[in-house]
Amino acid sequence: MTALAVAPLLGTTACSGGHPPNPNPRASLPLQAVAVDLPRYMGRWYVIAHVPYFAEHGFVATRAEWTLRADGRIDDVFVGRKGGFDQHERRYQFVDTVEPGSGGGTWRVRLFWPVYFTQLTLYVDPGYRYTILGNPDKTLGWIFAREPVISDDAYRALLARLDAIGYDTSQFVRVPQVPAQLGQPGFEPADANR
């Protein structure tokens, strides 16, 4: 995603069903990508929370690693452990293209030719510590951070931003990044069979 894992593919799958109607009164507001400083935006981002979909179910310790290529495209690697912290890391590689005129905030993620997914950067804080990603119809969304664990206050503030742009924030679940988070309220369970 961030192409996160196979988010793209699921963009089509997730949009076609499985999500209840969005009760947010701002649900119909169109999303606007924000401009980003691409070199500064590159690097490692931990998945703090997401709207669950089949490709990421059961993963823990997930992260995206973005590298700007000489041709202007982005190498996008999704890394995670399926089923628990004792499982081996799985890596999924994508190539993203920045949409011209988007200020670096809209990417076309190539799952495999000819399947693409549009990923929008919806927020990045001035210190490039937190970012929010989504797709145009608000069926997928992610909260990323540079560190694997963030404060509850920071998490609530990021959810409030998602609410303000029309997301149904009740759909978001946190992704366990450290073993102590397993089984905690609001966190997705690690289950290799999901």
pLDDT tens for the chain, 194 residues: list them: 444 434 433 443 334 346 678 999 998 999 999 999 999 999 999 999 999 988 888 999 999 999 999 999 999 999 999 999 999 999 999 999 999 999 999 999 887 767 788 999 999 999 999 999 999 999 999 999 999 999 999 999 999 999 999 999 999 999 999 999 999 999 998 775 54
Q: Give the model's pLDDT for residue 193.
A: 56
CA-CA-CA-CA dihedral for 137, 31, 67, 89, to nearest 10:
-40
End-to-end CA distance of the chain: give it in Å, rounded.
Answer: 18
Kindly list the distances between the CA atom of residue 60 and the CA atoms of 1, 48, 68, 76, 179, in Å, as whole numbers in the listed order.
Answer: 15, 10, 26, 18, 9
Domains of the chain: 7-18+29-181 (2.40.128.20)
* Beta strands per DSSP E along the chain: 43-50, 59-68, 74-82, 89-98, 106-112, 115-124, 130-134, 141-145, 173-174
Q: Give the model's pLDDT for residue 55.
A: 84
CA-closest candidate to residue 121, choices 108, 62, 110, 95 = 108
Stated pTM of the model = 0.88
CA-closest candidate to residue 107, choices 13, 171, 186, 42 = 42
Q: Give the model's pLDDT for residue 111.
A: 73
Largest Cα–Cα separation, the chain: 43
